[in-house]
A and B are shown apart, each in its own frame.
Chain A
């Protein structure tokens, strides 16, 4: 039975295989130099993709048309809010984190309100929300102190035996997310809604609440990501979340979650995030120019999604 379940959810294996192959190729290119450091760096950066990717996964699993495009703006605003509230003092770290979470949650709630009250398709709602958030960030972030407290910056860089502490905590978080997805009423509701929203309603599922919770969760995770990114990169920045627009969706899909909804996969997000981060590292190592690097990244993502999507329909 478990063997069958595993068979059914194999697509995520490939993202890990891909990540491994890229790592081997890079290590072969450098003649075995820097392999360990590369993994440490990849884990550090993958964490940020995994966190928002998990939120995005729950949203996408709600079914066709559901996606949160406001993540980059959300991350940017939350990073500024977190750094402002922390105000460079170690004693205010917890307060700043809470503020970032609350800011992200508020964005999520606003997204759902647009979708629910105005009946706007989620793509449009979250995209327009993202412009509003972005404007707020410009008005709010101007001329403010945005450096993290030293304690917070250090915390985001702690390593245990070469493994970043953040990565360990994120692994724990994804285990909980996987449990929530497969073994809790919330996750089952998300999966059911994604397969057939009408059937889910008729089966007694609280559709409205589940969708609300999902957009709020995704927003909250965006807020958390903003705070952590500001700590890791030593400062908040309005553009700090920009790359997470494409990558949060890419890691979900490459990781074996169905774009059509109703079928999700948490481990695959890790594999796909490592794959994307290592891919960038590899292209850097090869000394490819920035333009070619972007081009190749785009092509590879499209290729992988096309291949993964093909398997899914079987």
Chain B
């Protein structure tokens, strides 16, 4: 790229594979001195992976990392810190039990000896004053007592403090997500001042306005590659959305004709807690409802509130009619029971039906497991083998079998296709279609826009709210992306 000679950071041909999944497929990425780069892309485009590689938390599978003109061989978090690469990631990294000054010390080894607390307090206090005048944060405040927005302010300010290590590049991943419009403005103004004084910033945001107004150059990622990269002035909102993948002509999955389904009884009616207007999610019998938007914008919370409301009637804003089951996306924490066999893992949701008298019938349990081994194609010689003997995709199938093999009329799916191979996906899509035709209702949160084609209706989430409702006929990837990224802070 043009800036290459004076680039502070130059990533060349970087690839990253997680097993069979290719998160980055050869990315070239350079940051010049005194430049603010806006990095955008939809879920799973590879932004985070790329930034983690730059931060040293992930090792690239292939490619070169050149910083300050020197090729780095054993690049690590410590090395990144020494070279002046700082990052503020979305998951806040402050220790909640320490105060602001102590948290500052965590990043600065040189604050030692008598009076370190005072010096740390002065350091962070000055930076907070500089970035966020009237911030109202005291260096003695314990982090867990601070609001989310103030924590984010501390986190950002800390990244810009300097003691003995240089400060060259700061990665800001959604730095304004918890800030109100005024503090967000202060931060962005500071970013501009920092860049003008010769620093470099990588700005990741779902607020396209922020990117367009503040970045010098914009890099658009898509499917693990750089899809576009140009001066910010060359982009406008429409062009950005198009580059992210919206404009591509869309082949709809041909199955399911657009025949207007007659609407059955309402199965689920739910309003997100943060919803201020009257919009609510409604799912009728036999419908597949998609929950879209960027990851972590309230989709899982809604699913969990629907799940929680199923037991106790009349929770606020949520109405559930019928038995419910959930297919977890995070298999290890939310799904499988690691000490159990595949068949025990499938049977756990259906224990009542498997009983004969008061005892669970081993025969019925084995029959249920065998039926689903055939229907969903779990690849194993014996369903009594431990669940961990299966590949990730097959473990996920077992979780589908648990839900679909139960008496549930409503199936919640929490981004269940994470890290699942394409073969498994296609098999499960078929199954979902069959089960919906048989009258089951699906609420399907997915981060993969392609999967929305299987839905009758899609609700797009942003900041914990439903911001768009798209019926099957009007669904395009562009519209989903358009709603996921708003123009300015709400």
Contact = CB atoms under 8 A, between A and B. Distances in A.
Contact of B334 (A184, A191, A198): A198
Given A1-B384, A185-B360, A205 B348 contact: yes
Contacts of B109: none
A192 interface: yes
Contacts of A4: 384
A196 interface: yes
A262 B328 contact: no
A34 interface: no
Contacts of A281: none
B379 interface: no
**Which of A4, A183, A191, A202 is most buried by chain B, counting CB atoms within 10 A of its CB?**
A202
Given A185-B360, A196-B333, A202 B307 contact: yes
Contact of A195 (B338, B352, B402): B338
A196 B399 CA distance: 15
Contact of A199 (B307, B335, B344, B355): B335
A117 interface: no
Best-buried of B328, B334, B336, B337 by chain A (most CB within 10 Å): B337
A183 B359 contact: yes
Contacts of A203: 326, 348-349, 402
A234 interface: no
B260 interface: no
Nearest to A196: B337
The B contact surface, by secondary structure, is mixed
Given A202-B307, A203-B402, A263-B339, A184 B384 contact: no
A64 B334 CA distance: 17
A4 B339 CA distance: 14
A90 B21 CA distance: 75
B351 interface: yes
B339 A262 contact: yes
* Max count, chain A CB within 10 A of own CB: residue among B333, B339, B359: B339
Contacts of A263: 339
B340 interface: yes
Q: In the complex, which of the residues B344, B355, B360 has the most CB atoms of chain A within 10 Å of its own CB atom?
A: B360
B114 interface: no
B352 A185 contact: yes
A281 B306 CA distance: 59
Interface string A193-216: 001101110111100000000000
B326 A202 contact: yes
Contact of B328 (A179, A191, A195, A199): A199
Given A185-B352, A202-B307, A204-B349, A192 B334 contact: no
A184 B349 contact: no
A183 B348 CA distance: 12
A188 B328 contact: no
Given A4-B384, A185-B351, A185-B352, A195 B340 contact: yes
Contact of B360 (A183, A195, A198, A199): A183
A209 B46 CA distance: 44
B307 to A, nearest CB: 7
Nearest to A1: B384
Interface string A165-189: 0000000000000010001110010
Given A185-B352, A205-B348, A199 B384 contact: no
B455 interface: no
B20 interface: no
Interface residues of A, number: 20
B198 to A, nearest CB: 48
A185 B324 CA distance: 18
Contact of B337 (A183, A185, A192): A192
Nearest to B354: A185
Contacts of A262: 337, 339
Interface string A1-24: 100100000000000000000000
Nearest to A206: B311
A192 B338 CA distance: 10
Contacts of B384: 1, 4
B325 interface: yes
Nearest to B344: A188
B303 to A, nearest CB: 10
Contacts of B426: none
A79 B359 CA distance: 34
B74 interface: no
Contacts of B358: 184
Contacts of A198: 333-334
Contacts of A179: 359
Contacts of A192: 337, 348
Nearest to A260: B339
Nearest to B407: A204
Nearest to A194: B339
Contacts of B382: 1
Interface in B292-343: 307, 324-326, 328, 333-340
B336 A199 contact: yes
A202 B358 CA distance: 23
B360 A188 contact: yes
Contacts of B338: 195-196
A178 to B, nearest CB: 12
14 contacts: A4-B384, A185-B351, A185-B352, A185-B360, A191-B339, A191-B340, A192-B348, A195-B337, A195-B338, A195-B339, A195-B340, A198-B333, A203-B326, A204-B348
Interface of B: 307, 324-326, 328, 333-340, 344, 348-349, 351-352, 355, 358-360, 362, 382, 384, 402, 406
- Minimum-distance CB pairs A-B, first 5: A183-B359, A195-B337, A185-B351, A203-B348, A183-B360
